[in-house]
Amino acid sequence: MNIRHTKSLASLLLGMAALLNAGQSIAQEQANLFLFGQELEVCSSDMDRYCSPAKKQTGFDESAKLGPIFQVTDEAITRLSDFNWTEQPELRAQVIAMLQSLKPQIEASQLSEREFVRLIRRSTFTHQDKTIKGRDVWSGLFEFERNNLFDLLEQKQATRAGKRLKTQVDLMATNNESALLAYQAFYERADQVAGKKRKPRVALLTGVSRDPYQKVDYYTGLFEQLGFEVIWLPLDGAMQTALSVKEYDAEACSKLAQFQIQKLGSFRRNILYPDLFKLQEAACRKDESILDSIKRADAIYIADGSNLLASHALNKPTGEASPELLKIKEMLGNKQLIIAVEGQSINSLASRNTILSGEGAQVMIEPSNVYLSANEVCNLGVDCISTEAERELNYLSEGVLGLFPYGLIDTQLSSLARQTRLLKVAYDTQTQMSFGLDRKTALAISIEESDKGDSVTFDVIGSGGFWIFDIQDGKLSSNMATGEYISHYFTHQDKVVYRNASVAPDFAPWKIATRLNSTNPTVTSSQPFGRYNYFKFSQMLCNTGASSAIAIGQLQEINYTLQLVKSASSAARQGVILLDGDKESRCSFSGVTNQILIN
């Protein structure tokens, strides 16, 4: 299954297509939704993590943007005084004093974000006759204040002629095979929608991020190299505000930069990306410009970002669905386009109960914060960003896109141990089914609607996995105890059919049944729900062939046992996967009974 780079992009994609089609089902060929988990990136000039060793050595040409750079200049320090970037006056004064003390040391140095933060944290300076450590100043800044500080210190990157440097992509040099397989599947399905007479068109929505321009070049390069014609949809919360205000203020589109500060919590995007800003401003002035772009598309790609900012991008300021969202839903319903959603934006697909934040097992015993709508949570971009950065469990009682009515959705389940927050919201809302995606994993989803119950088919792509939980009619006690709930976990090339709360797996043919084992392992851990621990525990049961397993843990003063039990209806299949240069064992399972018991 390991993919070797070939001499041309065309032959690379041909090889990817052959590998993909070897395990492709009819359902995947009919998919209308694609979910891309985190870390499905490709080789690019501003992030070489997934570039081949040879590419890392040769690099990109001089016209490539290598990532944001920061510089401490007199103009930048003046901006920190002029802009309202923090709600802490004393901290503002300390930051300015700190940067003034650092400026002579670094002169005209251009720093990456990591270098800039390291410099701040290691610094010591004097302010109002007090010696202050930079790390104390840094820890005193809220997340949105750090973002604002970066915005005001970031430098425009341009050629000597003044042309903006752009992020470049190189699919040929990409080492992330999970990503290549997922994007190739998406391209092939969009190509079917487009027909044989032209390239498929993908409409790109990046306005779900506080910086709507930062990733435009990356996605444009990625999709063009795949074979798409790329259309950028300049839609975000600031744009929706401008379009609304335009009805009574003819100059509304000229205030777009101001609206970006208010609605996105984003400064100086017009300076750093002047060409994209002008395109967005022009689209604002031209009636139905974005609607016309959507009508031409065969696929919509919604980038990774904030679910609250996604709501503001796709709804009017009043909370009503925008004409753009209504058109997307109409075309999807008519099978005129497909939709892909990436990263945390995947949560916005759920028809109700959009999960916003929440980390750690403590969410099981702490009260949740429930909001009726995105407008109730935040009207300003900084408040949206702050809410989604909280460790407390926050969720909406409504959906954003509302395209997946079959249960809750969440991402990064195994790596961030988000099973607990997914289960907590399920119990809170008595939502029977929950679905979760791991990193480096994609899903192709085909939905066949029927009066007797929709049939939803999931095809799993990539080196991670896909979780399904069924709480049945169980309850969650205040002390963390649960009724019995069912877990399923599927990996690369598995197919799963969900209908009427029933899960029917079709495991990849290269996976074999695990041998039965009479030994039932016990794991003692203070954190069975710590990062990767729940995943590892479930994999241990799957791999050993044991009929049950228990993990003993403690949360605050609660001693509990997590119990996993296989039944006659359980199934498990094991195989070795060779993806992304690693040879790893993967175990898929279905129908395992879970229960949290208090000791």
User: Does residue 520 have a pLDDT over 80?
Assistant: no
Of 21-30, 199-208, 261-270, the poorest mean pLDDT is in 21-30
The sign of the dihedral angle between the CA atoms of 292, 296, 300, 304 is negative
Structure tokens at 290: 């974005």
Mean pLDDT, rounded, for 278-290: 93
Query: What is the gyration radius of the CA atoms in the chain, in angstroms?
Result: 25
Residues in contact with 546: Cβ distance below 8 Å, sequence separation at least 6, in sequence order = 517, 518, 519, 520, 521, 540, 566
The position carrying tokens 């993806």 is 579
SS3 call for 592:
strand
Of 160-174, 439-453, 464-478, 572-586, the poorest mean pLDDT is in 572-586
Q: Which pLDDT value is given to residue 8?
A: 47
Q: Which pLDDT value is given to residue 144?
A: 87
Q: Which pLDDT value is given to residue 336?
A: 94
SS3 call for 55:
helix
Taking phi over 0 as left and psi of -120 to 50 as alpha, with beta for the rest, 271 belongs to alpha
User: Does residue 545 have a pLDDT over 60?
Assistant: yes
CB half-sphere exposure, 98, CA atoms < 13 A: 24
Mean pLDDT, rounded, for 489-494: 96
Mean pLDDT, rounded, for 320-336: 95
Strands 502-506, 338-342: pairing kind: unpaired
Average pLDDT along the chain = 90
Q: Which pLDDT value is given to residue 577?
A: 81
Residues in contact with 287: Cβ distance below 8 Å, sequence separation at least 6, in sequence order = none
Q: Which pLDDT value is given to residue 161?
A: 84
User: Does residue 3 have a pLDDT over 50?
Assistant: no
Strands 512-513, 548-555: pairing kind: unpaired
Condensed to tens digits (0 to 9), the pLDDT of residues 253-281 reads 999 999 999 999 899 999 999 999 999 99
Of 24-38, 79-93, 276-290, 534-548, the poorest mean pLDDT is in 24-38
Cα gap 524→25, rounded to integer Å: 41
Mean pLDDT, rounded, for 510-518: 81
Confidence of residue 153 (pLDDT cuts 50, 70, 90): very high
Q: Which pLDDT value is given to residue 28?
A: 60
Confidence of residue 41 (pLDDT cuts 50, 70, 90): very high
Confidence of residue 525 (pLDDT cuts 50, 70, 90): low
Condensed to tens digits (0 to 9), the pLDDT of residues 79-89 reads 999 998 988 99
Condensed to tens digits (0 to 9), the pLDDT of residues 385-439 reads 889 989 999 999 999 999 999 999 999 999 999 999 999 999 999 999 999 999 9
User: Does residue 202 have a pLDDT over 80?
Assistant: yes
User: Does residue 94 have a pLDDT over 70?
Assistant: yes
Mean pLDDT, rounded, for 469-474: 91
Cα gap 361→366, rounded to integer Å: 9
Mean pLDDT, rounded, for 208-237: 96
Mean pLDDT, rounded, for 112-135: 92
Q: Which pLDDT value is given to residue 549?
A: 86
Residues in contact with 151: Cβ distance below 8 Å, sequence separation at least 6, in sequence order = 85, 266, 267, 268
pTM score, whole prediction: 0.92
Confidence of residue 10 (pLDDT cuts 50, 70, 90): low
Instruction: Please write down the HEC assignment for all residues of 152-211.
Output: HHECCCECCCCCECECCECHHHECCHHHHHHHHHHHHHHHHHHCCCCCCEEEEECCCCCC
| Helices and strands in the chain, H and E counts | 22, 23
Mean pLDDT, rounded, for 158-175: 91
Mean pLDDT, rounded, for 36-64: 92
Helix (H) or strand (E) holding 257: helix 256-264
The β-bridge partners of 504 are 497
Instruction: Please write down the HEC assignment for all residues of 359-371.
Output: CCHHHHCCCCEEE
The burial of 467, by beta-carbon neighbours within 10 Å (0-12 exposed, 13-18 middle, 19 or more buried), is given as buried
Residues of the chain with pLDDT > 90, as a percent, come to 68
Cα gap 539→572, rounded to integer Å: 10
Single-letter code of the amino acid located at 200? P
**C-alpha pair distances (Å), 389 with each of 146, 324, 353, 384:** 13, 28, 18, 9
